Amino acid sequence: MMLGTVAGTVASTIRTPSLAGQTLVRVVVAAGHAEHTVVACNPLSAGPGDRVVIAHGAAARHALKLPGAAIDATVIAIVDPDKS
Enumerate binding residues for a copy of itself (CB under 8 A).
Answer: 1-3, 8-16, 18-19, 24, 26, 30-40, 43-44, 53, 55-63, 68-74, 76-80, 83-84
The Cα–Cα gap between 56 and 9 comes to: 18
The Cα–Cα gap between 81 and 76 comes to: 16
Closer Cβ to a copy of itself, 21 or 68, answer by number: 68
Report the nearest approach of a copy of itself to the CB of residue 68 (Å).
5
The Cα–Cα gap between 3 and 83 comes to: 14
Report the nearest approach of a copy of itself to the CB of residue 23 (Å).
12
Closer Cβ to a copy of itself, 21 or 83, answer by number: 83
Q: Would you say 75 and 44 are in contact if contact means Cβ atoms under 8 Å apart?
A: yes
